Structure 1
């Protein structure tokens, strides 16, 4: 029926399907072009052109009509309505990412925007799309080859792409940004030396500290999780067991529930740990995290409002006693937090109560331009001002909803095919759709 997904699919899908006049719809579904489309005699684009020409439809109706054909066609392939709707949203999200490629900035809560490295590595990990990244602050025409060459050599990364914003005038490189660079990419040069440098930056308890700066002896359980992920990825897991034990203890005790020094919500911790567990199914010390993580996730699904915790009140009081300006933070479950807990469940193969509610809520949060609203990625350690990113939220939402579309798609069985005498190659079209919305084939840019 559909020979290929045309290059204009994203454009057509973003137009949405609005209500056409009743007489127009009647003409469409009874005309010979529609019948020819359903019998696979012509493609969807040719059918649209013929019908719009015969009806003298304006261009906006042509786009809506093509979306109508898209939904009808994939319904005939046995794809569930939910998968079709989510697939449309995924394509819109990918279109937004492509339209903002190399311009995916962060925003400080109630303040200015700036560019960083960390969020770009987050985006790269879930999209595998080099065309979205900008890693040279003073190079406007950065190419995919430029990014590849930059990332081929392991190095310490600073959170800020250019000058620090919202903090001290000088800012040291950190192990979180550096770790995520090593997770999103696999450099050919310098990895072991860089990991040695991380080990040399441990405190007296054997925990890797966040900054390569002796004047900032910080430890964050979310940051440590990414460090552990890196050491396991590069086959040096034996050297990072103290940090792994700290993560295990924290997961069990729930000390992360009001967020951590640098992260706003526990969902960030859930996601990072879930990626560690999913990546190492045969490491018993890692798999021991699966059950407590599943329990923690189950307690959060479908929840959106929280009260300030006693821990936050105590921190606020202590900070004020030191003369520091600090207000107790109420963890906000925004679009990114919802996305992260969905992704964590998907990574672990879990389907807890409340996940369908979360998926529906995430889908409902999509903006008119195809992206998702600002989600809080992290926060400043001292001021607690949050740092948000539409790019990260949209990339992760696309991944989560794409995976859900793939899981909910109803694959036609062989008996149904034989009964209807449909050609076997229809599987290919359906698989192309499913893979595309799940982010496995229809990427917005090839690396």
Structure 2
């Protein structure tokens, strides 16, 4: 079954697997096999398309209503006493606000009474209040009727997608959705074309009479032809008939659920979409882009009359024709979209015919064509401003309409694929809410904007806004494609439901007190009920006897707990993001839940549709933490245990899963889970590089006291790792060109690193080396500080955080000086310095950390870099052997992320590859934004305050993981941890 099939089909498949309880199975009413003709997915093709055409006509009619009166707005203003241009615009767009609000309440009602009755009722309201508009005698009446007709008119848009999902497969859905989507796109275009002639010949009131006639025709057609498509309602009716025929009142539909409480309705229609909108970056950006494009379209709709009547002196009837540019382009875009969608589906198929669908592939047409929105706005705005022939601005609107279709259509399909068919209801609800709010209020700014900026610059501003969102989408597509190519080898994630996706409250107004309720849920009786061994009635009676309460109170307490369920929108957002970035990973749920409770859950919690499959204990005769449950689930999903991740809030369930070979995560909160899952299933190197790209130029060091340190030393080391890609992205470039000697700091450490990285002419380099040679003390060791009197003006006053009055020695600094001297062929000039470094290493004097570097790993890392010259220098070969011994001693010693990265790099450089555990720990430390915590890099000598740099740690961690991938021998375990 495809990922986007509805959750009711998912439940049906699971029921077909068999329930161990014969009593439960005998009383469950399901489809009569996979080819049941009453299942809307099995309807004849002509019946399906009849329904699709009718709901598309309903959508077209109700979407003509916002703009059909636009050409006659001057007549409306005159008759109703409207003097403000903003109020005139509101008279058109207030209907659109109704389109946003009405559907939020129609959808839950359809879950209870079915889709067809809601279609009929809403159409009657629509026609009635459209007639009210036609008969309005003042502005207040007109606006009220306008808003209410909009609330009813939004019903086809709210239910149409669900109806299409009820009767089509994912392969058929794109064509059906394209036809259906012509309503909101072509309706606002066709309306003013007709309305212009009607308003000119019969008056503006006839635009509403025509809408009433069209609505009546569509309503009668729907009443005669349409049948119920909602699977839950169909099976409920079948169950009711069977109860009447057989007298068995224990019969229950497999899709039966408890009716929504008022609180659940509020959560479903208002809170859930709003929370999801702001917790899901993908949904927010897409919804904002669609809303902007849709709002701009309505701004054009409401200003076409004034533009063409004012600039080109068109009459009211002729001004309606200018909308045809948009109309023709929308029809053409639908045809092209269908062709492209068919070819994309073919391209996604392997040679064996298996479909390889990726959600981001839905965005490809958007990437290709959405820039036409901006192009169309530029053409329309400037040609209208300069009064170029009227055909040219209409061509501009055609470009805009063509691009708009390829913004809205791919966006809807992408959201359905990412969120799943049921959870997509909330996602699309949020998308529609933002879209219609923009369409209501953005046009109000149109007249003022054009007055302030003129038609040219006003539309140019809108065009640049659209381009800004286009660039965002380009980055989303590239990022998801790259991340998917490099994502881990895990193939499935299994989530627990209770206390992970859902939270609930204990009942408060029943005779079952919270303590008893908790005891009830942990009782052996409840466990048997969750296994499917007891019927609901037997379970409640047994619990009532144990708790000495009436069984009806048990049932009431359970119902209250079910109605109190709240979905964690952050978890839904996390799952959607993982699906978008790692589409090869299937998402499942596995829960200790009875069959009746699961059926109710499907109906009250649309987010269940985000899963590719759900495994309720009541359908399998076993429950967590029993190993049998894990084994049955693994057998069902047909994935090797070591490629599966289980997320559960109970430790014993995680331990049980891990004993079968699965990777387990104990859920402690969304933030910690997000970090763990990202680190397991997404590519750590690409995430780290993305962090560096996004924060380029802002990678300052910071002390443990919070002070920002804008030094060059860390910046130079980041550049050395070659993960930034351009000098201009480094902070070091702030003070001028880093390639000139003027930017060399006056401490030897930074000077040495700079001269090894920044190209310098031989004369300058040797001059600096000569000055450093003068700083050797009586022991033959280089001092840390270049005294100002010993330096030229080129080497002074760039770094001041070392003590200027006292001589200091530090073995790590000496190592960097040695590297500089060997780089320029003068390593033999500092034999005693090299000997002292060897002595420090041999006698483990580095373990407490040098003066300026608190971690011994920094010293060992710098030594490993020095040993790269060992092939040419025999004395360094002895140092390399000693380093290898000391490196082995440090493997798996607890350390921060910076020290781990340096340790891994140093080990690999001397041929030590047994660092898998250190790499695992390093990967686990990656932050949600792709970076690694700064760690302690160096410290001030006197105060001992440590300084770290998140950019440097991230750059070294990226290099460590990359280098490990290249040098290791592949194994299953490491491939799954992101090492591949």
Q: Which TM-score bucket, shorter chain as reference?
A: 0.5 to 0.7
Residue matched to 1:334:
896
Contact 2:897–2:953 (8 Å) recurs in 1: yes
Residue matched to 2:348:
36
Q: Superposition pairs for residues 108-123 of structure 1, below 5 Å? A: 108-123=703-718
Task: Describe the superposition over 1:233-259 as per-residue Cα deviations: whole angstroms up to 9, x where unpaired.
Answer: 111112121211111111101111100
Q: Could you tell me how far 1:99 is from its partner in structure 2?
A: 1.1
Pick aligned residue for 2:839 from 215, 225, 249: 249
Task: Describe the superposition over 1:336-364 as per-residue Cα deviations: whole angstroms up to 9, x where unpaired.
Answer: 11111001011122124xx2111000000
Residue matched to 1:133:
730
Contact 1:267–1:337 (8 Å) recurs in 2: yes
Q: Could you tell me how far 1:385 is from its partner in structure 2?
A: 1.0
Residue matched to 1:389:
949
- Residues 210 and 269 of structure 1: CA distance in aligned 2, closer, same or farther (over 3 Å): same
Q: Superposition pairs for residues 17-28 of structure 1, below 5 Å? A: none
Q: Could you tell me how far 1:88 is from its partner in structure 2?
A: 0.7
Contact 2:4–2:417 (8 Å) recurs in 1: no
> Across the two proteins, how many residue pairs are aligned to each other?
331
Q: Distance in 2 between matches of 1:88 and 1:28?
A: 29
Q: Distance in 1 between matches of 2:710 and 2:779?
A: 34
- Residues 223 and 43 of structure 1: CA distance in aligned 2, closer, same or farther (over 3 Å): farther
For the pair shown, the structure with the greater C-alpha radius of gyration is: 2
- Residues 40 and 102 of structure 1: CA distance in aligned 2, closer, same or farther (over 3 Å): farther
Residue matched to 2:744:
157
Considering only aligned residues, what root-mean-square deviation do their CA atoms show, in Å? Answer: 3.7
For the pair 1:298 / 2:881, whether they are aligned, the reply is: no
- Residues 263 and 343 of structure 1: CA distance in aligned 2, closer, same or farther (over 3 Å): same
Structure with more relative contact order (C-alpha pairs < 8 Å, separation 6 or more)? 1
Residue matched to 1:206:
780
Task: Describe the superposition over 1:289-342 as per-residue Cα deviations: whole angstroms up to 9, x where unpaired.
Answer: 1221111111111111xxxxxxxxxxxxxxxxxxxxxxxxxxxx2111111100
Contact 1:86–1:405 (8 Å) recurs in 2: no
For structure 1, the residue ranges without an aligned partner over 5 or more in a row are 1-19, 73-79, 139-145, 159-172, 305-332, 412-436, 439-447
Q: Distance in 1 between matches of 2:348 and 2:706?
A: 56
Q: Distance in 2 between matches of 1:334 and 1:270?
A: 15
- Residues 229 and 33 of structure 1: CA distance in aligned 2, closer, same or farther (over 3 Å): same
For the pair 1:175 / 2:748, whether they are aligned, the reply is: yes
Larger helix proportion, structure 1 or 2? Answer: 2
Contact 1:48–1:62 (8 Å) recurs in 2: no
Q: Distance in 2 between matches of 1:55 and 1:245?
A: 65
Contact 1:48–1:65 (8 Å) recurs in 2: no
- Residues 46 and 257 of structure 1: CA distance in aligned 2, closer, same or farther (over 3 Å): closer
- Residues 182 and 71 of structure 1: CA distance in aligned 2, closer, same or farther (over 3 Å): farther
Pick aligned residue for 1:191 from 740, 760, 765: 765
Task: Describe the superposition over 1:101-121 as per-residue Cα deviations: whole angstroms up to 9, x where unpaired.
Answer: 111111111231221110011
For the pair 1:57 / 2:414, whether they are aligned, the reply is: no
Query: Helix, strand or coil for the counterpart of 1:107?
Result: strand
Pick aligned residue for 1:276 from 824, 844, 866: 866
TM-score (norm 1): 0.65
Contact 2:5–2:170 (8 Å) recurs in 1: no
Task: Describe the superposition over 1:172-231 as per-residue Cα deviations: whole angstroms up to 9, x where unpaired.
Answer: x21001011122223235111011111011111221111112732111000000000011
Q: Distance in 2 between matches of 1:104 and 1:233?
A: 28
Task: Describe the superposition over 1:22-62 as per-residue Cα deviations: whole angstroms up to 9, x where unpaired.
Answer: 869x9999x99498354499996874548983883358788
For the pair 1:348 / 2:910, whether they are aligned, the reply is: yes
Q: Distance in 1 between matches of 2:743 and 2:345?
A: 60
Pick aligned residue for 2:690 from 95, 100, 112: 95
Q: Distance in 2 between matches of 1:294 and 1:243?
A: 20
- Residues 55 and 215 of structure 1: CA distance in aligned 2, closer, same or farther (over 3 Å): closer
Contact 2:822–2:869 (8 Å) recurs in 1: no
Q: Could you tell me how far 1:386 is from its partner in structure 2?
A: 0.6
- Residues 65 and 381 of structure 1: CA distance in aligned 2, closer, same or farther (over 3 Å): same
Residue matched to 2:582:
68
Task: Describe the superposition over 1:151-185 as per-residue Cα deviations: whole angstroms up to 9, x where unpaired.
Answer: 2x446733xxxxxxxxxxxxxx2100101112222
